[in-house]
Amino acid sequence: MNNQANNTRHGGISVDTEHIYPIIKKWLYSEKDIFLREIVSNAADAITKLKRLSSLGIREQTDENYRITVTLDKTAGTLTVADNGIGMTEEELTKYICSIALSGAVDFIEKYENQSDSSKNGIIGHFGLGFYSAFMVSSSVEVKTKSYTDAPAVHWTCNEAGEYETEASDKAEHGTEVIMHISDEENEYLNASKIRSMLDKYCSFMPVEIYFDDGEDKQDGEEKCVNDTFPLWQKSPSECSDEEYKEFYRKVFADYREPLFHIHINADYPLNFKGILYFPRFANEYETIEGQVKLYYNQVFVADNIKEVIPDYLLVLRGVLDCPELPLNVSRSYLQTNSYVSMVSAHIVKKVADKLNYLCNNSREEYEKIWKDICPFINYACMKDKKFYERVKNSLLLSLTDGRTMTYGEYLEAAKEKNENTVYYATDASLQAQYVSMFTAEGINVALFERPIESQFCTMLEQYMEGVKFVRVDSEIADSLKGDGSVTENEELKALFIKVSGNEHLEVRFDSLKNSSVPALLNISEQSRRMEEMMKYYSFADGDSLPSEMTIVLNTASPLIEKLTDTVGTDSEKSEAIASYIYKVCLLSQKKLSAEEMQSFLNDSFDILMKL
């Protein structure tokens, strides 16, 4: 055992450049375009470091115009990223560039972190391979750099095999130039429009001014900054106008329809993230409803659509989130398990709820205008997350058949006299118009649930709102609709309607209604309908079928029913024709007639007309 212990050896795994460089070239990033983000990010880091040294008094303050210049030279086949930042000495270049995965940003933070906690702010860091992404598209890379300390400038050249040379440079000003010699197979990166689109995607909001020289003569002789160094989400909400929010939305998402509302997030410790989220406006309900949330890291673009940061029931949102607590090279699997991401997600849910409550309480008229558009998404969110429901329950609106809107609390308050704790609703204002008119004539408000999710939503609400029930207007005859007239049942009339309906399970009931112009109503119990809808949802039932448990209510106050009662015992043919017609008219309020039912209805109609 002792001999074995004495023979134990320690060492580090070495990686030959001839092996690692092909891997870098092919697999460093899933998208090659990211190389430009990495190189420009390094340039921004270099400038941020120099600014920090000045603020700490380590370097004399100057009024220097800090900038990054991206230059395309098609003739030379190069793409250059130059900055006037901190620069490097030969020793630093050897340490940070010639040693893979050693991050200069981390070294910088460790050195100066005791000077001030804010020395870390704005330095991207947390990666060491970013520079090498240049080799994904280059046959060779040059670096010309001069340190702010006035140490001699250095020129470093490296080919795609990892073989490099270092020599003195004639660079006069501090800063760094990264010159990428684009390889023949990657010549698409010598296209000006391609580079411009990459800068727009990855660098639009970097904190240092970026200029792009595409090699073309400028007609006006003026350079144009390609990025916004102080994006809207970095500002205080009180500094931003509605028009600025709309303009930002148009710029980022190329959507010229105004969003329904926005949420400006400025979260402090322990979350430390900022962003702006928008609820988009849709042309119609069939339009694709997936949103898009862009993730940034200290104003550097990370990912185009991060679903993990937004709860699935709020994926309709569009916006930007700047999360400096996340690494720049964040992965999907990391986001799914990270506790910080979970806290960000929870905070977003809270901010959405707060916004809805604010709009409802302070901008009710505007809130009512957008409610129809946001209603299905808010209802779905409530169904998925009870905590979200608890936050927004007082801001949920009911759209009524007369065009008005009410909160559920306002509806139930108005219903105390005639339909206490009962919400009457219609799913089709046209099809159920007769029922609706009877309720509204009695001063009973009728809610309008036009979307399938709203019927499911009311089932959930019955669980959360103790003692409250939701009843469709054609499910039962409310006591308020009944008159004082006498009710006499007629067995012959019952048998007649069962016969003409062809449904032996049809229940026939007699009631005296206040509205004498309505001869009969067809009711389907709320429970039966919901069961049928669930069966249809899971494809266990025909889309046009009706529940077998139906009740036809014959209005004894109707002159037509009175006439039919007198006829049923004397003229069976006539009474059957009238009963059949009444039944089919009632059926029309419940569903679309089948081809056979429609033909029979038309024939009955023509026969009646002939007898006039």
More confident residue, 225 or 593: 225
Q: Is residue 186 located within the same domain as residue 298? A: no
Number of H helices, E strands in the chain: 19, 20
Please check whether residue 12 lies inside any domain of the structure.
no
Residue 540 CB: number of other CB atoms within 10 A? 9
State pLDDT tens for residues 183-196. Answer: 999 999 999 999 99
pLDDT beyond 80 at 1? no
Cis peptide before 270 (omega within 30 of 0): yes
Q: Residue 520: beta bridge partners?
A: 554
**Same domain membership, residue 445 and residue 344:** no
**Beta strands 292-297; 318-322: pairing state:** parallel
* Residue ranges with strand state E in 386-467: 397-399, 405-407, 422-426, 447-448
For residue 17, what pLDDT is reported? 55
CATH, residue 253: 3.30.230.80
pLDDT at 13: 46
Give the CA angle between residues 376, 378, 380 to the nearest 5°.
65
Confirm whether 39 is domain-assigned.
Answer: yes
Tokens of residue 116, six digits: 């001030």
Contact 436, 428 (CB under 8 A): no
- pLDDT tens, position by position, 316-353: 999 999 998 876 666 666 677 778 888 999 999 999 99
Contacts of 83 (CB under 8 A, 6+ apart): 43, 44, 46, 47, 66, 67, 68, 69, 175, 176, 208
State the CATH number of the domain containing residue 430: 3.40.50.11260
Residue 266 is inside which H or E element, if any?
strand 261-267
Q: Is the pLDDT of residue 62 over 50?
A: yes
Strands laid side by side in the 550-555 sheet: 507-511, 550-555, 520-524
Residue 541 has pLDDT above 60, yes or no: no
User: 352 phi and psi, to 5 degrees?
Assistant: -65, -45
Domain count, the chain: 4
Same domain, 261 and 361: yes
- Which among 213, 246, 261 is the end of a domain? 213
- Range 191-200 burial, b when 16+ CB lie within 10 A, else e: eeeebeebbe
Residue 377 lies in a domain: no
Least confident of 112-116, 272-276, 489-493: 112-116
Q: Is residue 342 located within the same domain as residue 445?
A: no
CA distance 466 to 407: 16
Pair (203, 289) in one structural domain: no
The answer, as to whether pTM is greater than 0.95, is no
Same domain, 200 and 54: yes
Q: Using the 8-state DSSP alphabet, how is residue 400 labeled?
A: B
Domain presence at residue 534 = no
Strands 447-448 and 405-407: unpaired
In a domain, 322, yes or no: yes
Quick one: 64 and 200 in the same domain?
yes
pLDDT of 582 higher than 60: yes
Place of tokens 């609706």: 436
Which residues have C-beta within 8 Å of that of residue 294, sequence separation ≥ 6? 252, 301, 303, 304, 305, 306, 319, 320, 321
- Domain residues for the domain of 454 are 396-479
Both 337 and 188 in a single domain? no
498/469 same-domain check: no
pLDDT of residue 424: 96
State the pLDDT at residue 56.
Answer: 81
**In the predicted structure, residue 223 carries a pLDDT above the cut 50:** yes
Please determine, for residue 413, whether its predicted confidence score (pLDDT) is greater than 50: yes
pLDDT at 598 over 90: no
Burial label, 3 (beta-carbon count in 10 A; 0-12, 13-18, 19+): exposed
Residue 563: pLDDT over 80: yes
Are both 465 and 502 inside the same structural domain? no
C-alpha separations of 497 from 102, 300, 509 in Å? 87, 73, 11
CA 603/CA 609 separation, integer angstroms: 10
Q: What mean pLDDT do residues 136-159 have? A: 93
458 pLDDT more than 70: yes
How does residue 119 score in pLDDT terms, banded at 50, 70 and 90? very low
Quick one: which of 145, 177, 180, 144 has its CA closest to 160? 180
Contacts of 405 by beta carbon, 8 Å cutoff, 6+ apart = 368, 371, 397, 398, 399
Q: How many CB atoms lie within 10 A of CB 2?
A: 6
Residue where a domain terminates, one of 446, 479, 512: 479
Residue 603 domain flag: yes
* pLDDT digit string, tens, across residues 489-535: 899 999 999 998 888 888 999 999 999 999 999 998 888 888 877 77
Pair 209, 121 in one domain: yes
User: Are the CB atoms for 577 and 607 separated by under 8 Å?
Assistant: yes
Residue 111 lies in a domain: yes
Average pLDDT, rounded, for the chain: 85
* Range scoring the smallest mean pLDDT among 24-28, 275-279, 394-398: 24-28
540: confidence class by pLDDT, cuts 50, 70, 90: low
User: Is 507:550 a contact under the CB 8 Å cutoff?
Assistant: yes
Does 442 lie in the same domain as 499?
A: no
Report whether pLDDT(16) > 80: no
**Helical axes 192-202 vs 34-55, angle rounded to 10°:** 50
Confidence of residue 103 (pLDDT cuts 50, 70, 90): very low
- The residue behind tokens 């219903």 is 415
Indicate the pLDDT class of residue 199, thresholds 50, 70 and 90.
very high
- What pLDDT was estimated at residue 599? 87
CATH of the domain at 563: 1.20.120.790
Whether the predicted pLDDT of 608 surpasses 70? yes
**CA-to-CA separations, 605 to 322, 502, 520, 552, 611, in angstroms, rounded:** 68, 19, 17, 20, 10
Q: Which of 398, 440, 402, 403 has the alpha carbon at shortest distance from 423?
A: 398
Q: How far apart, in whole angstroms, are the C-alpha atoms of residue 594 and residue 282?
A: 34
Distance CA 552, CA 477 (A): 11
- Within 8 A by CB and 6+ apart from 510, the residues are 487, 488, 489, 490, 553, 554, 556
Which of 453, 430, 294, 304 has the alpha carbon at shortest distance from 383? 453
How confident is the model over 29-59, as pLDDT tens digits? 668 898 999 999 999 999 999 998 888 878 7
- pLDDT for residue 161: 81
Domain C-terminal end among 168, 186, 213: 213
State residue 298 phi and psi, 5-degree precision: 50, 50
76-91 pLDDT per residue, tens = 999 999 999 999 999 9
Q: Which positions ≥6 away from 433 have C-beta within 8 Å? A: none
Q: What is the CATH number of the domain that holds 39?
A: 3.30.565.10
Residue 571 lies in a domain: yes
Mean pLDDT of 576-584: 89
pLDDT for residue 109: 47
Neighbours of 267 (CB within 10 A): 18
